[in-house]
Structure 1
Amino acid sequence: MSENSESPTPGGPQPETLRFFGTTWVGHDNGYGLRRVGVACGALVVTVAACLLMRFAYQGVQIADVGSFVSVLFVAVFGICSAVAFVRTWDGFRRRPADPAREESLRSLKAIGFIGSLLAYFFRSLTEAPGERLLRSEYETAVTQYEKRRGARAGNPAARRRPKSKRK
């Protein structure tokens, strides 16, 4: 990595902040490792709590004695929604959504399948800050473009030597 990608370029592009990490993901400094461990543990604890909550909800459906169809439907809906939420959340860490309106329409589905989103957050935090790869690639591209533009404009244009014209 170049020095420019590890610290913000003065006057250049600034890195975006990540939830729970700020801009520590740029140089992996200021307790980045501890934050990742904390986020992973927190996501796992919240996932377990969410599973317990779903268990209590399922027991409520069982106690209500609404029938096996509703019980199966309950499990199927939450299972499918959790799987879709996992995939959508996982993909969101790798690339920006192509259609933000579609992502907005899937917001309620991701809310129902919140356990899948929590699991994706947990698994991603084991390897990096969730969303770090996406932001790092965008930031490095912006820094490269900034440096290229700055290099092209360097110096006083009036002081540049003019190319010799061909005489006939």
Structure 2
Amino acid sequence: MSAENGTNGTPDTAAGPRPEPIRFYGTTWVNHDHGYTARRVGLAVGSLAAAVAACFVLRFAYQGLRIADVGSFVTLLMVVMFAVCSALAFRHTWSGFTTRPDPDRQASLRGLLTIGFVGSLLAYFFRSLTEAPGEKLHRAEYETAREQYEKRTTRRSGNPSKKRRRS
């Protein structure tokens, strides 16, 4: 059930732009309320635990290659592949918190980001230590939208028929 303003059945909402929700945080990042700090701590711990679990899975895969005796070249290739992909995924995820990623580039890097998921989890962990991941970007966009809205709404004030004409 939505709140109504009682005059014409329209929803009672604040005018102007609305903040964009962030995954796991909703719009609590705007005022840091409704469990924002607990969510940040919980998600930081969760992403670190997921990264540690992923490293154990990769270790088991490495041991499987050693047991299969596929050769040192293949083993080295796998280790280097996961290290490079994790580093690239970390960098891409980290930069995605401050700028909007290009959708075409994002689609082309999907495989690399999947292989380097440990880097993405670590980037999420480190960003969660200071803010909600993507909060700075969303806050800047929201404040810009609010300023533009304020300029549009305050531009026309007063009665235009009483305005003095320039001669």
TM-score exceeds 0.5: yes
Query: d(CA) in 1 for partners of 2:156 and 2:47?
Result: 47
For 2:64 and 2:157, locate their aligned partners in 1 and report how far apart those are by CA, in whole Å.
70
TM-score normalised according to structure 1 size: 0.88
Q: Is 1:162 aligned to residue 164 of structure 2?
A: yes
Q: How many residues align?
A: 155
After superposition, the C-alpha distances for 1:57-107 in whole angstroms (9 at most, x for unaligned) are 11111111100000000000000000000000000001112x321121001
Distance 1:130 1:137 in 2: 13
Counterpart in the other structure of 1:17? 21
Where do 1:111-126 residues align within 5 Å?
111-126=114-129
Residue segments in structure 1 that go unaligned for 5+ positions in a row: 1-8
2:84 to 75, 80, 86: 80
Q: Establish whether residue 57 from structure 1 lines up as the match of residue 41 from structure 2.
A: no
Residue identity opposite 2:90 in structure 1: F
Q: Which has the higher helix share?
A: 1
Question: Matches of 2:37 and 2:151 in 1, distance apart?
Answer: 32
Name structure 2 gaps, 5 residues minimum.
1-12
Structure 1 residue ranges (4+ consecutive) displaced by more than 6 angstroms after TM superposition: none
> 1:108-128 deviations in whole A, cap 9, x for unaligned?
100000000000000000000
SS of alignment partner, residue 45 of structure 1: helix
| TM-aligned CA deviation for residue 162 of structure 1 | 2.3
Correspondences of 1:1-168 after superposition (within 5 Å): 10-97=14-101, 99-158=102-161, 160-163=162-165, 165=167
Root-mean-square deviation (CA, aligned residues, Å) is 1.3
The one-letter code of the counterpart of 1:139 is Y
State the Cα distance separating 1:161 from its structure 2 match. 1.9
